[in-house]
Amino acid sequence: MSAPVLLVIAHGSRDPRHAATVHALVRRVRSLRPDVRVETGFLDFNVPSVQGVLESLETEGVRDVVALPLLLTRAFHAKADIPAVLADAPPRLRIRQAEVLGPSPLLLSALERRLYEAGLTPADKSSTGVVLASAGSSDPEAIAVIAEIAREWRHTGWCAVRPAFASASLPRTEDAVRELRELGCARVAVAPYVLAPGFLPDRIARGAAGADVLADVLGPSPEVARVLLERYGAARVPVLAAVGA
């Protein structure tokens, strides 16, 4: 029996860098699991749409799909938008929605990879304060998750770690940078906890003007690709169990 199709569901953006980064990440996932068919669908702004991909898969005779939200926190898109789109899928498709990507120790590894690529070294950790800069959300659960990630990351040896948000919540990146300066950290780094470039990541970058180091977005890092496959693996088991029932 063939493995369920992995449908990566991205938000979409008017910024062409967003889709380019999503496609690069999907290519990395395919390279890690050439035995799994991986498709990409967008909720808005970009094509193909999620609905269009699902209809094409049904036409081809595909029956089992794992829909994976390309999201770092479980907020509105994961709780409402994506389930609504999947509810309108062709009825012959058996679809299971995978969990969002975060939190995961692999994502912390990806954040550190980006900071080291931006010029830091492991020896800098104890004297460096880090701003964990996320897109932001009005969902209290998502905000609490970001705050908990910052607390956990601090215990790995950084001088301090502070969460910040580009929208909906406070503090902003520039405020967190200022707080870490006042705390006495020798240097301040900003680590964008976002997957792809776009409007809000650009706002994070502007807020990082007073920092010493600005890391790149997570993008198609190998750790992110591995998280996708972990979520796929966890979600496909009930799908296969249902098929064999």
- Which residues have C-beta within 8 Å of that of residue 136, sequence separation ≥ 6? 143, 165, 166, 167, 168, 169, 200
> Over 80: is that where the pLDDT of 237 sits?
no
For 194, counting Cβ atoms within 10 Å of its Cβ (0-12 exposed, 13-18 middle, 19+ buried), the class is buried
Note the pLDDT tens digit of each residue in 37-88.
999 999 999 999 999 999 999 999 999 999 999 999 998 788 989 999 999 9
> Over 50: is that where the pLDDT of 97 sits?
yes
For 60, counting Cβ atoms within 10 Å of its Cβ (0-12 exposed, 13-18 middle, 19+ buried), the class is exposed
Distance CA(229)–CA(139), nearest Å, equals 26
> Over 50: is that where the pLDDT of 242 sits?
no
Judged by average pLDDT, the poorest of 15-24, 73-82, 95-104, 156-165 is 73-82
The percentage of residues in the chain with a pLDDT greater than 90, rounded to a whole number, is 93
Note the pLDDT tens digit of each residue in 144-154.
999 999 999 99
The answer to whether the beta carbons of residues 212 and 188 sit under 8 Å apart is: yes
Q: The dihedral of CA 103, 214, 24, 13: what is its sign?
A: positive
pLDDT score for 179:
98
The answer to whether the beta carbons of residues 67 and 9 sit under 8 Å apart is: yes
- If one counts every other C-beta atom within 10 angstroms of the C-beta of residue 225, the result is 22
